[in-house]
Amino acid sequence: MHNAKPIIVLVDDSDAMRTLFEQVAREADFELHAYASAEASLTFLDSNRPNLLVINVMMPNKDGYSLLKQLRANPLHQDTPTVMISSKDYAQDRVAARELGVLEFVAKPISKKALRSLIAHYVDGGGAPRN
Amino acid sequence: MSEAYLRFWGVRGSYAAPHETHLGVGGNTSCVELRAGDHLLVCDGGTGIISLGEELVQADELHEMLVVFTHYHWDHICGLPFFQPAFSPDWRIEFFGPGDTAADIERRLSDQMKAPYFPVETETWMADINYVEPHDDGMRHGPFEIRHFNVHHPGVTYGYRVRIADKTVVYVSDNEVQFLKTSIAKRIHEFEEDEHELLERMVSEQRSAELAAIENVDILIHDAQYTPHDYSKKRGWGHSCYVDTVNLAIDAGVGCLYLYHHDPTYNDDQVAAIHRDCLQIIAERKSSMECHIAREGLKVRL
Ligand SMILES: [Zn+2]
Ligand SMILES: [Zn+2]
């Protein structure tokens, strides 16, 4: 496993956000699994623990909190490093996210530069540029 | 089906405002009754639900209802501990709101009646109370078809789309529209030139989602809490500026907009001024949308 690339999972209904992550993944050394809904992410997450999980809060069906609550009940994801990301920027959402044990609550928009440093901060080797 | 109508029992946001200067619009907090013959759907349980409860018990005609909550902020639940039908064995009441399970909904509604916040707990409710187990396909209550969707407000907050009597009514009491757009505008200096296209896509995605929720509905009841001046100070409080609300409704092809969740500090004249300005925006945009102030006691035939 030591030379496997770190895995980052993004769950966000925003097509533009998934594009942003894909652009950053292309120039960095991590494997990205991007899903447009909580439901679509579950097949992978049921049996895989990523190095970093990034979840959007407001989504059309199951919201980000509900997804993370469900994942936290699975022993595999009890402490999966997770970042919440949202167009919302309210204190109450920061508290709700913290209660689910997230590393950070990021208010959208996020620049490429900020996303790169976020990943470098939480994922060992995830931020290293490919040569 | 006999008569179908909606009636506003509470139209204030944040807290009740029973001042003489405010009573033309109404002082009670969020509560809307939707009635279709013998079927009753209630949106939110702010202080407005207290008078509704008194009337229902007095009339003694119906004995069943569904109450849906947008969220559990005080202004939307604080009438519930005084809601007479809940204390009467003649009633069967279903409750629904944000939560992953029926038990979540029950806990959130019951907690406000726990000691030391209230003298009696929900154990004193004599009605047959049920909490609706959430599922994605929405709900039916008699002739009402009900779907919920997520809106932009602190915590998980729902809007409701209700189909009744060939009409679609959308109830969005608390929602801060266009938030991402203004976040991007404020922080644009953090971005490189080549990121602007992605940012524009994000703005248009958010706009499409906001529009899709209310597209071509007959009646939209929507948060229009702040004037532009107050919104500039209260951006990030979870409520909309009426200018954004009216423009969103026009863009979505709404038939009739009810300005709702009025700020408790605004008196009747101030709400009337907001309404006049909305009518002017509608005229300037050459829209045929109707727009009214949601007033306590106002009954609208469906
Ligand atoms: Zn409210
Ligand atoms: Zn609220």
Specify the CATH number of the domain A7-120.
3.40.50.2300
| More confident: A1 or B158 | B158
pLDDT in tens, B250-269: 999 999 999 999 999 999 99
What DSSP string describes B103-150? HHHHHHHHGGGSTTT-SS-GGG--SEEEEPPP-TT-EEETTEEEEEEE
Angstrom CA distances, B228 to A72, B200, B240, B266, B270, stand at 42, 23, 9, 13, 13
Touching check for A59 and chain B: CB below 8 Å?
A: yes
CA of B263 to the centre of ligand 2 (A): 12
pLDDT at site A2: 55
Most distant CA atoms of chain B, gap in Å? 66
User: Residue A4 contacts by C-beta under 8 Å, 6 or more apart in sequence?
Assistant: none
pLDDT at site B137: 83
pLDDT at site A130: 40
Q: Sorting pLDDT into bands at 50, 70 and 90, what band is B221?
A: very high
pLDDT exceeds 80 at position B66: yes
pLDDT at site A118: 95
| Whole-angstrom distance, CA of residue A121 vs CA of residue A127 | 8
Q: Sorting pLDDT into bands at 50, 70 and 90, what band is B277?
A: very high
pLDDT at site A4: 81
Q: Do A90 and B236 touch (CB under 8 A)?
A: yes
pLDDT in tens, B167-188: 999 999 999 999 999 999 999 9
pLDDT exceeds 60 at position B216: yes
pLDDT at site B258: 98
Task: Tell me the shortest Cα–Cα distance from B132 to chain A, in angstroms.
Answer: 17
CA atoms within 13 A on the CB side of B167: 18
CA of B73 to the centre of ligand 1 (A): 6
User: Residue B49 contacts by C-beta under 8 Å, 6 or more apart in sequence?
Assistant: B9, B10, B31, B42, B67, B79, B80, B83
| Whole-angstrom distance, CA of residue B80 vs CA of residue A16 | 42
Structural tokens at position B252: 């979505």
Structural tokens at position B21: 């200067």
| Whole-angstrom distance, CA of residue A86 vs CA of residue B40 | 36
Nearest Cβ partner for B201 among A16, A63, A113: A16
pLDDT at site A131: 37
| Whole-angstrom distance, CA of residue A85 vs CA of residue A104 | 8
Angstrom CA distances, A5 to A29, B80, B134, stand at 7, 54, 39
Q: Which of A 11-40 lie inside 8 A of B, CB atoms?
A: 14-17, 19-20
Nearest CA to A128 among A52, A25, A3? A25
pLDDT in tens, B108-151: 999 999 999 999 999 999 999 999 999 878 999 999 999 999 99
What DSSP string describes B134-195? P-TT-EEETTEEEEEEE-SSSSS-EEEEEEETTEEEEEESS--TTHHHHHHHHHGGGS-GGG
Q: Do B150 and A63 touch (CB under 8 A)?
A: yes
Whether pTM > 0.90 for this model: the answer is yes
| Whole-angstrom distance, CA of residue B111 vs CA of residue A41 | 33
pLDDT exceeds 90 at position B165: no
Q: Where are the domains of chain A?
A: 7-120
Q: In which residue are the tokens 């060939």 written?
A: B166
What DSSP string describes A40-53? HHHHHHTT---SEE
Decide: residue B146, CB within 10 A, 0-12 exposed, 13-18 middle, 19+ buried.
Answer: buried
CA of B27 to the centre of ligand 1 (A): 13
Q: Do A87 and B183 touch (CB under 8 A)?
A: yes
Across the 131 residues of chain A, what is the mean pLDDT of every consecutive 10-residue run?
82 97 92 97 97 96 96 97 97 95 97 95 69 37
Most distant CA atoms of chain A, gap in Å? 42
Nearest Cβ partner for B195 among A63, A70, A111: A111
* Ordered domains of chain B (ranges, CATH): 4-301 (3.60.15.10)
What DSSP string describes B1-62? ---EEEEEEE-BSSS----GGGTTT---BSEEEEEETTEEEEE--STHHHHHHHHHHHH---
